[in-house]
Amino acid sequence: MNIAFQRHLAAVVFLACAAGCSPTADKVKATVTTIDRSCDFVETTFEGKKAVSARGYTDSCNSTDEWAKVRKERKKRIAGQATLHLSYVAPQDGSQRTGEIKLTGRDDAFYEIKAGDEIEILVSKTDPTKIRQA
């Protein structure tokens, strides 16, 4: 093997490891206990192909029948926020912890996650109360 190829291979292996492991956090499973999700819906009225009026409102995503269609078809964009309330075991000391992760309507998880699901999170090695998405 020539030296240039060996360096390239070493760089690829290093990047693959760095992408898969975090030196400052441990990956653990967390259970979604509850979700506070609000959506910004916009209803547009058309005459033919021309939009004549639009009315927007913000409410709980589950308070409208539109949410079921949006989750299933994913054809309409929804602006919104979700706060996932999580329960997890801190790897440092084995204690039961709770925490929150925030999502927006741009995240696929915003539409897919429901209470009771298990997700992977990263827990800080120095402070088990600090978490982030894996």
Query: If 0-12 CB within 10 Å is exposed, 13-18 middle and 19+ buried, where does residue 84 land?
Result: buried
- Considering only CA atoms, which of 109, 131, 113, 123 is closest in space to residue 34? 113
pLDDT of residue 58: 75
Residue 9 parent element (H or E):
helix 3-20
Q: What confidence score (pLDDT) does residue 67 get?
A: 65
**Which sequence spans correspond to the domains of the chain?**
24-133
pTM attached to this predicted model: 0.67
Model pLDDT, residue 47: 81
Rounded to whole angstroms, how far apart are CA atoms 27 and 90? 10
Q: What is the pLDDT of residues 74-117, one digit of tens each?
A: 545 567 899 999 999 999 999 999 999 999 888 888 888 999 99
Q: How far is CA 127 from CA 66, 84, 100, in A?
A: 41, 20, 15
Amino acid code (one letter) for 25: A
Angle, alpha carbons 115-117-119 (nearest 5°):
125
Q: What angle do CA 94, 119, 116 make, to 5 degrees?
A: 95
pLDDT of residue 117: 95
| Three-state DSSP class for residue 15 | helix
User: Which of the four pLDDT bands, split at 50, 70 and 90, describes residue 45?
Assistant: confident
